[in-house]
Amino acid sequence: MEPFRHHLFVCTQAKPEGATSCPGNRSWQVLQALETELCKQGLDDEVQVSTCGCLGLCDDGPVMIVYPEGVWYRKIREEDIAEIVSSHLRSGKVVSRLVWCDQQEMKSEMIEHRDQYRAMVKAKDQAGILPDELNEMIRGFMPSRAVLTALELDLFSAVGNGRSANEVADKVGSDERATEMLLNALASLKLLEKRDGKFLNTAMSARFLSEGSRDNARPGLMHIAHLWDRWSTLTECVQSGTCVERDEREHSDVRDFIAAMDRNAKERAAAVVKAVGVNGIRRMLDLGGGSGAYSIALAREMPNLNSEILDQAEVVPLTHAYIRKAGLEERVTMRVGDMLRDPLGKNYDLILVSAICHMFSAEENRKLFRRVYDALAPHGRVIVQDFILEGGKTAPRFAALFSLNMLVGTRAGSSYSEPEYTEWLQNAGFSDIRRMRLPGPAGFMIGFRN
């Protein structure tokens, strides 16, 4: 007995540009139409839909197999989906005009495809050609740079509901020819559409990259655009062992950085609140609290909680604006200070150290945790949140790459491993040290003062 009445597999195999493939024939759109239609016809709990790799029938895509019958559909269009759902999945009547009937022909095509694929892999290998995935990794900066430039110029807002390249160039004050080249490249990345010589935002760019949208992420993403410059110095940093000296950060850089932190923190705040546990916490210290997103989330959850944010002079006025907007000025206060040197205070029930340790050297972190221990009340807890590496330091990939982000951006920062955090916490006197698994890339650890 199957857990579902039907199990569907839709091919979504990505192929190099120019090769025929199911996604090239809109299999992702077919999948979307299928999910919508199943809901509409009340079958979403009866029918399980999965994506799958190449089925060897690429010229006839999109291809979909329906189990338990083992019916192979080919050349499906979004317009066919309502009929497949109502006729086949609801009433058991296969839509024969879309079914591959000649099994022998189907098998020959699959074998031919398999043999061609094997011959191509062998020929590439013999010729010593770079594998596609390596090529893609090395050229990965190209799409990234195109999108970052578009963000810097606020191009998606300028495109609005549809403008020609000339009109966009006019609006952002850029060169016409070059702007058209960039807009075309963004359309190739499916971040814009081009119709009758006009460019339009896609649903995704309109929602996340354009002014006026509630979810516009551009302010936070501008921080990534600033990181581009830092990452360009990586070779020099690896040679010298530390970041390249830079001029004072501009106010707009700090604002963009805090906006980026705020976005990340808001995404995780609910999970963090749950993991912290709310019992008996009245006084909290949020070290380097940035936008105050975690203090805000925790204060909302715990009506008796007062939180103090300690941050740098250039950040505290920005923090203040976030706290004021949240209406929590009475219970979330802030002060300027250096967490490595200035007094932290005493008798806190909770000290949050979120996205802090990666800025400092191992020795500075060891010292910081000793100071945190002293600032806690008996049985108080420290929460550490950061990109935590496994013992061997080669995984998770994001934490390993983030370590380079700290190399290019700080004097002695790095991502650190779970054994390192454990050692620092133990060394400071903490007990009951635990790692907790929360969704998302950041790691979460907790320790208690005796």
Ligand X SMILES: C[S@@+](CC[C@H](N)C(=O)[O-])C[C@H]1O[C@@H](n2cnc3c(N)ncnc32)[C@H](O)[C@@H]1O
- Residue 8 binds ligand FES, judged by CB under 6 A: no
Q: 339 contacts which partner out of ligand X, ligand FES, none, CB within 5 to 8 A by kind?
A: ligand X
* List 6, 8, 9, 13, residue binding ligand FES (CB under 6 A): 13
391: nearest Cα among 354, 443, 428? 443
Integer Cα distance of 252 and 96 in angstroms: 61
Q: 57 contacts which partner out of ligand X, ligand FES, none, CB within 5 to 8 A by kind?
A: ligand FES
Per-residue DSSP letters for 343-390? ---S-EEEEEEES-GGGS-HHHHHHHHHHHHHHEEEEEEEEEEE-EEP
- Residue 11 binds ligand FES, judged by CB under 6 A: yes
Which residue is listed with tokens 């790691």? Answer: 443
Of residues 93 and 274, the one with the C-beta less far from ligand X: 274
Q: 443 contacts which partner out of ligand FES, ligand X, none, CB within 5 to 8 A by kind?
A: none
Q: Judged by CB under 6 A, which stretch of 53-61, 299-307, 362-370, 382-390 contacts ligand FES?
A: 53-61
CB of 364 to ligand X, least distance (A): 9
Q: 288 contacts which partner out of ligand FES, ligand X, none, CB within 5 to 8 A by kind?
A: ligand X
Q: Strand 306-311 relative to strand 283-287: parallel, antiparallel, unpaired?
A: parallel
* List 8, 22, 155, 433, residue binding ligand FES (CB under 6 A): 22
Of residues 72 and 348, the one with the C-beta less far from ligand FES: 72
- Residue 31 binds ligand FES, judged by CB under 6 A: no
- Residue 385 binds ligand FES, judged by CB under 6 A: no
- Residue 276 binds ligand FES, judged by CB under 6 A: no
Integer Cα distance of 155 and 209 in angstroms: 9
- Residue 65 binds ligand FES, judged by CB under 6 A: no
- Residue 179 binds ligand FES, judged by CB under 6 A: no
Binding site for ligand X (CB under 6 A): 261, 265, 288-290, 293, 310-312, 315, 338-340, 354-356, 359
Q: Are 228 and 148 in contact (CB under 8 A)?
A: yes
Of residues 263 and 282, the one with the C-beta less far from ligand X: 263
Of residues 199 and 257, the one with the C-beta less far from ligand X: 257
Side chain identity at residue 433, one-letter code: I
Residue 303 three-state SS: coil
Residues 6+ apart with CB under 8 A from 124: 131
- Residue 98 binds ligand FES, judged by CB under 6 A: no
Q: Are 323 and 307 in contact (CB under 8 A)?
A: no
CB of 74 to ligand FES, least distance (A): 9
Number of chain positions touching ligand FES (CB under 6 A): 11
Work out the number of other CB atoms within 10 angstroms of the CB of residue 245.
Answer: 6
Q: Are 79 and 35 in contact (CB under 8 A)?
A: no
Backbone Cα Rg of the chain: 27
Sign of CA pseudo-dihedral 419, 424, 429, 433: negative
> Which residues on adjacent β-strands are paired with residue 310?
287, 335
DSSP tag of 9: E
CB of 113 to ligand FES, least distance (A): 7
* List 21, 205, 319, 365, residue binding ligand FES (CB under 6 A): 21
Q: 359 contacts which partner out of ligand X, ligand FES, none, CB within 5 to 8 A by kind?
A: ligand X
Of residues 114 and 335, the one with the C-beta less far from ligand X: 335
Using a 10 angstrom Cβ sphere, with 0-12 exposed, 13-18 middle and 19 or more buried, the burial of residue 247 is exposed
CA atoms within a 13 Å half-sphere pointing along the CA-CB vector of 257: 15
Q: Judged by CB under 6 A, which stretch of 51-59, 86-94, 181-189, 190-198 contacts ligand FES?
A: 51-59
368: nearest Cα among 337, 393, 404, 333? 337
Of residues 56 and 380, the one with the C-beta less far from ligand FES: 56
> Which residues on adjacent β-strands are paired with residue 200?
193
Q: Are 287 and 352 in contact (CB under 8 A)?
A: yes
In the complex, which residue's CB is closest to ligand X? 288
Of residues 181 and 270, the one with the C-beta less far from ligand X: 270
List, edge to edge, every strand of the sheet that includes 431-436: 332-336, 306-311, 283-287, 348-354, 376-386, 443-448, 431-436
DSSP tag of 218: H
CB of 338 to ligand X, least distance (A): 4
Integer Cα distance of 176 and 183 in angstroms: 10
CB of 57 to ligand FES, least distance (A): 5
| Residues in contact with ligand FES by the rule CB under 6 A | 11, 13, 21-22, 54-58, 61, 63
